[in-house]
Structure 1
Amino acid sequence: MSALPGSPEGVATTGLVDTPVDSSPETLAELPPLTEQTRLEAREIIARYPVARSALLPMLHLVQSVQGYVSPEGVALCAEELGLTKAEVGAVATFYTMYKRRPTGRHLVSVCTNTLCSVLGGQRIMDALSSDLGVHHDETTADGSITLEHAECLAACDYAPVVTVDYEFYDQQDVESARALVAALRRGEKPAPTRGAPLTDFKGISRQLAGFSQHGDDAAARAAVDAPAALGPTLAGLRLAEERGESAPAMRRPAAPAPDAEEPAATVAPSGRTGESPGKEAADARVAAADTPAEKAGAAGSHPDAPEPARRRLPDGREGTDTPAGQEPGTSGQGPAAGSPSPNPPLGKA
């Protein structure tokens, strides 16, 4: 759980992550401010959604793209613009691990340590990088260049072990290649990802996730989309099928349904040729179209010609159903005897 400082709601804990929100005066003093431009962009995000609070997730990415994490100021801005409490915003920000609770380094390095990646060396990579950088999970190097984290799954088992930098993929890594990658990042270099867009930085990808381009112009954005990628393992099956002339059999198209086949029987229009009223003819059609005994019984019970259910007369002269007294649903035979006073008389009566 993570407390949100700076508000009455913040005394409670919210969310599922136990990393405390960094609200130290030293950290807050060094943060870039959330400007009026940030607020205008937040309103632009809100305008994309029919319900304003649906904009919260990209808005959290937006404030993170400016300040490097979801700060108390960022929580307050989202709350003000969406008409939510800070606790409501904080509950979301502390639920998802993509929203950071302390300033993030220039690059976020995520090492998959889930089953397949771990078996193939993911945990060894994590241990080596942790030792080299002098940090553990969700910690940032002293020079502010790298935040290291382990990831439960990066959805790339066919490329295991996988490392991502700012959510861009570096596939089939080992200890030495991961060390070389991180060393290059710390020197200010940006090695090309195995696949996907060219590397920028954590704030840049946060802006992209907020729905804005992180690139300077349209040409740079197009180049990022068209960047070359090595998709060997994923496309291996397609290449082999092409070489062997193999293809999947064509899918059978379902036969066109007969008229009214997909319509409830109640919507079938009466023909007017049976001599019955439209209501009775439709009821006959519902009975005839019933597929199961239960459906047929239900249709027959609602038919206009269905007999009235048998009734019985209660001791007080009222009519009731055939259910024996004291065995109505919910009483289990434990109802009060006839003529006994009610244990809960109506309000206002003795």
Structure 2
Amino acid sequence: MSKGSRVRRRRADTISLVFCDLDFDRASRPFGRGTNPIPPSGWAMARAGLVYAEWDGRRCQITGNELIEGRHPASLLVAVLREHPQRLIVGHGLLRSDLTAVAMVTDVPDAVIRRSVDTLELAHRLRGGRRSTGCNLSDVAWETLGLRRRKPTVPDRLAGGGAVTRGDHDPREDAALVARLWGEMVTARTLSWGTGAPSGRPGTATLAVEHLAELTGRQPQPETEHYRRCLSADPPGRLLDESKSRVLRTIAADLPNPIIIRDVAERLQAAGLVPTGPLSDEELLTACQWMGYRQNLDVRDRIARGRPLTKALRYRLGQALWEMTHPSFVSTIHQARHRSQMSALAFIELQQLLQEQNRIRAMVADAVDPA
């Protein structure tokens, strides 16, 4: 084989990739450790870390990275992912959580979904069973790579019980960790998972040819095709239970015009409770993500059907808009709640913050529905 032929073959084997990890302002457990996790369709995206790389058939070479944040992180993320249609998009939970949350506030084009690879979905499938116990990024990275993940929990500004907030953690660290995990899976052709729970068992699976084809984008993941069908205009009823079908119908349909949410926001702005200036549709729909999960869907359903919001929904929506635009206050309260378990002084501080919170909530109620 000539030198030119070898170069052309290497170029043909080269794969461009972008590894993706998202941080959320509101994630899985908004009301403490004793509650059930909220589905990803109820999460509110805060920012994303991207790591760019090239795979030459032997090793994964990192070529750059990018941090996406600001007022419109979801639509900006989609715009960046669309810029290079040849790049494979890889994430741990990319389909199961990340793109589901993004699709609640902005359109995720089919071209992005078709290029997506979710290593969590593959781990879950290889492990077997109904739940992906021991397949989270922390467990898989430790069992497969022997690396400890620096971010210990899912960041959640609304979580009580001392949950770790996003703080200074950079999501590009986890994106780089996913890159190392993907490289190990492709070269060593193995994936290991941990216990995850007392009832779980660690294990290792050897990747077959079809798994490698999925990881390198030469064959679509079954979960990717499933996700695309669910986001179609009329998803097959057999694919989903009733609650999941309701969520995905909300995503699949054109995102509702949030005119009702805008009315509530403008009332809060007039009262000086929310910063002035126009709020985009993405920001208004993100406020729904800060609500309770069922309240989120109720607001969207009512908008889609042209029905007015109940007084209770308007009040909770007003709270969500205030919380979304004052995340530092929300975070301060929950940090104080954690510290209050350790000292009397911190307990007094918490009581003062809760009094201020009640005062603000009363002002929100008056602004949303004046007497």
TM-score by length of 1: 0.22
Answer 1 or 2: which has greater strand percent.
Answer: 2
TM-score by length of 2: 0.21
Rg comparison, structure with higher value? 1
Structure with larger RCO (C-alpha < 8 A, sep 6+): 2
